[in-house]
Structure formats: structure tokens, C-alpha cells
Structure 1
Amino acid sequence: MGKAVRRSERIDDGDLGEAVARARQGDEAAFAVVFRAVQPMLAGYLRGLVGDDADDIASETWHDIVRDLRAFRGDGMSFRGWAATIARHRALDHLRRTKVRPQTTELHEDTTRQVLVRDSESLALENLSTERAVALIASLPRDQAEAVLLRVVLGLNAPTAAKVLGKRPGAVRTAAHRGLKRLSERLSGAGEK
């Protein structure tokens, strides 16, 4: 059986926002805080979109983040949403170049370490191995899978996730809810808790 998904608190959005503000002014230590806080979640999201190419896409994403950081304005949640938008664009560019469907692969333990699960339906994912969780998410319709990845893995709220996907917040909430409900039903049907 694969490694268990471990969940822990992520950096507070207020603290992340302060670190981003200092990083914008050239504070390298603050940028290191931002990178350590966001990279594991970003890697998990990208792994869900492009599989084994996630590290390469994350590198391209951070290149763009560094290049445009001085122009960014917003708090911690906005920064995670902005980073997710850049990552999604890089991932879609990659998929267009390679002309393959999004794929999922095993999430590494460090990818999920920063994840915080807030809603009760997503607690169904707590007792799964990482491989099983990724396989189940990958089996969802694409809009539901991406909504679950943004809401659960990156911890974005519905309005921020909606900006990333170019959809309305209600549509993202609905897709995430349906995806989590579908996952919960599959787990109940499989006899897992």
C-alpha cells in the first residue's frame, strides 16, 4: 500500500502576505519563506495536471513568479491564486505542446505535507494512500478534478479558484462539491472510510 496522506497546517495567509510583500522589496529570506510555503501545494496541483512533468512546469512557474513578483498586489490567498493561475497556464501550454491529456501520478509525501482539509466531505481522503487518492481524483470529470485539486491541495477559496479556472465561484463550489461527493460515494462503495 502507498504512503498515507498526511495533513498539517499551512502558513497563515496573513503571514504569507507579509512574506510576499517583503519578497517584492527584494528580501531573499522572505522569498524563501514564500517558496517553502507555496511550492509543495503548487507541486501537488501540477502533478495532478501534468503528472511526472510537474517539476519542470513548477520551475517555469517560479521563473514567471520571480519575473513578475514586483507587479503583484494582494494578500496570501491572492498570491496562492496568482501562482496557481500561472502554473495552470504553464501546464496547459505544456499539454498543448505534448498533445496529451492531463494525467496523474503518485503524489510524494512532501507534496501533501502543507495541505489543510477544511470541509467534512474531503475528510474521506484522509485515510487513503496517496496513490489511491490520486487515482480517485483522476477518475473524476476534469472540471471536478481540477476544482478538488485547487480547493483541497492548494487550499484556495471558491472565488480565488474561480479566477484561476475562469469560472464563477458557484460553479467551482459545485464542481468541488460534486467531485468530493463522488469520491465519498466511491469510498463508501469500496468499503473504505
Structure 2
Amino acid sequence: MAQQLSDDDLSAALAGDPSGFSAVYVAISPAVLGYFRARGVDDAEALTQDVFVDVLPKLAGVTGGHTGLRTFIFSVAHARLVDYRRREERTPHLAEYDPLNDARSSASAEDEALGSLGGISATLARLNEEQREVLVLRIVADLSIEQVAGIMDKTPGAIKQLQRRGLSALRELVTEKDHAAS
């Protein structure tokens, strides 16, 4: 249960005494906090603090005793609640990205990259198996000639020859494809 505010504490608060304000805060802040929580405020503690920051410099002008003080504090609390609701209405609602609700009609960069890899794979498939393997190991896997030779159990000279022939064949296939497209 909240502490009751004595007449001496009220007089001290209205006179600007910090101990009087402290007593007002201890007696009335739980009710203000409960008001904000009951109204569904996310950060009710911060809004309660804002109310008492607004009330402090205006305490000297409060009239009506205990009832007048409570009325004044809750009128400030109500004004802060209205401000909070208005700010909440203007704040955009952030939602998680859901690819199932994505209505874009163009393909994503990922889809385009994977699609172009499909074209490369189809072109590479037209090379013989050894040329394709050498080019993939050298270019995609970024292995040295010696490493590829060890993997394929061939000499470095044979790997160089397969790479040269594979690149030459690939160049012809790409040139052929470009001429067909235009």
C-alpha cells in the first residue's frame, strides 16, 4: 500500500523543499505508475519519471491541498499519456521480412547469379571431362597447377596443356553463343 502524504510534507513540497518533493514522489508515484501500466504503456516507469520531472518546477503554484496536488499530478500524467499515444500512432510498425509475402516481380540478385551459373555450367558441360575438371579446380577452387596435378594424378605439363585447350574451347563456345544471340 502506498505511503500517505502528511500535511507537513505537502507544505514542504509546495514551499520547494526537496524533502517535501521526495515525500510527494514516494506517496503518489506508485499510483501514477499503476495508471500507466493499466493503460498499456510499454515503459511505464520512464513515463512516470517524466510526469514528476514536469511536476517539480510547478509545485509552488498548486492549490487545493492533497486533493489539488493529486488532481494536478494526474492531469500531467494524462497529458503525458496522450502524448505517448500520439507518438505511438506516428511511429511506423516494423515487421519481419517474409519472403512468402514478397510481391516483387523481378528476380533477386541471388536468383540472377545462380541463373548465370547455370549458363556457365551448361557451357562447361560441353567441354571434355578432364578440361572441365582442370578449369573448375584452377578457377573456382583457386588451386595451383601443382595441386591440380596431384589431385588428377597427372604431370604439371599435362595440366597446363588441358587448361590451355579447355580455355580455348571455352572461348570458342562463348563466342559461338554470343553470335547466336545477336
Bin the TM-score by the shorter chain.
Answer: 0.3 to 0.5
Structure number with bigger Rg: 2
Whose relative contact order is higher, 1 or 2, with alpha carbons under 8 Å and at least 6 apart?
1
TM-score scaled to structure 1, two decimals?
0.42
Taking structure 2 as the reference length, the TM-score comes to 0.45
